[in-house]
Amino acid sequence: MIQSKEQIIKYFKSGIKKTNDFKIGIEHEKFLFSNNKRVNYSKIKEMFQALQDFGWKPVLEKENIIGLNKGGKNITLEPGNQIELSGDKLNHMHEACAESQDYLFELEQVTKKLNIKIVSSGFDPFSKLEEIPNNPKERYKLMTKSMPLGGELSLDMMYRTCGTQLNIDYNSEEDFKKKFLITNSIVPITIALFANSSIVEKKNSNYLSYRSKVWQSTSRGGLPKLFFENLDFEKYAEFIMRFPILFIQHEDKYVSGSSYTFNDFMNGKINEIENRLPTENDLTVHLSTIFTENRLKKYIELRSMDTCGWDCLCAGPAFFIGLLYGNLDEVFDIVKKWNINEIISAYKDSPKNGLKTILGKKTILDWSKDLFEISRKGLINRNELNSKKQNEVKFLDHIKTIIDTSSTNAESIIAKYKKDKNFFYINEK
């Protein structure tokens, strides 16, 4: 049972790994459409059944299939029937990118047969909120009721967004502190570089990353100033202890915890679950229901990228691996000098202004150029080679194109939208 702050700190310390044992974990979400509408749960069941021919095993909640797993990989079902691949813990970008490619190949074989279109966008470009079907996952019913109370666009986040996440390791508390400061400091840059959600309800939203705008107006989310204040394991433990509970799984039921903090839970003050104390699994669930731009579990999870298609799927993770695994100190020396208020201001501006956003005395485009070079050098330093003796730098090609043209995926979509409103170009290729 978890009864003290020290136990939570110990939980975070248990994630410490030797540098040589660092892994890469990528998660990415996709929208699915059939007959120009978001797929319903019946269609999801068909698709999950068909994917089992590729060795995937069903995950059930009561009698309902809610996901699949294969080895260290999981496919999960999101609130509006988006699907998410949570990849295995892998050694380098060659493995991670191959994993995504294999998954998308399998998904493509199944979706073609079922007349399902895959759309890789950070925000649903077509559907109104009320048009989106739900599914039988119990936690989502509870979240649908409680989440809007703390953020006006929370339901849009749940039902109409898709993102790409990267999970990275740390070798000490000091290493965590550096990596967490960097990842939070460059959130405005991340939003701008990987903006891919400009179209909303078949119209130009006048945002480049509407997904990010939504997440900034979501309950339990945002970019807390605390994350820039020399945050260590103890401070993060105190932060999550004060944080309200979203739900608690108790005897095969989900119970709302919104009236309680995790500290209340630790002190046995939740009557609805017979005042029981939290387990490590309860702690893990609590950590996963804090929707900040980055968060700590037994690893650091980076969460600010819009989902994108195959052309850029590996670019974002490679960019961060070059910075955080390959050239940490150089990028830390840059961001540690940045002003918190200027970061927060750029964070608010970047969903709309993208690469033109001002951060300090430079545009995000100019900062992106600097960070790109640092990342490129970092990937060269790592010297992780594939069978053709190529290093991981090749995965940065998409970002180089963005920087060279000063044009993101979002701007490309807007340009196509002005010429053709049939939206065929939004489908995954």
Residue (of 398, 333, 351, 60) closest to 188 by Cα position: 351
- Tokens representing 39 are 């797929």
pLDDT of residue 258: 87
Ranges of the chain with pLDDT below 50: none
Please say whether the beta carbons of 165 and 288 come within 8 A. no
pLDDT of residue 428: 77
**What b/e sequence results for 226-260 when a residue is b if at least 16 CB atoms lie within 10 Å of its CB, and e otherwise?**
ebbeebebeebbebbbebbbbbbeeeeebeebeeb
Residue (of 288, 295, 83) closest to 168 by Cα position: 295
pLDDT of residue 47: 98
**Please, which residues have CB within 8 angstroms of residue 3's CB and are 6 or more apart in sequence?**
266, 277
What is d(CA 94, CA 385) in angstroms, rounded to the nearest whole number? 8
- CATH no. for 5-243+290-419: 3.30.590.20
pTM of the model: 0.97
pLDDT of residue 429: 61
- Tokens representing 86 are 């949570």
Per-domain residue ranges of the chain = 5-243+290-419
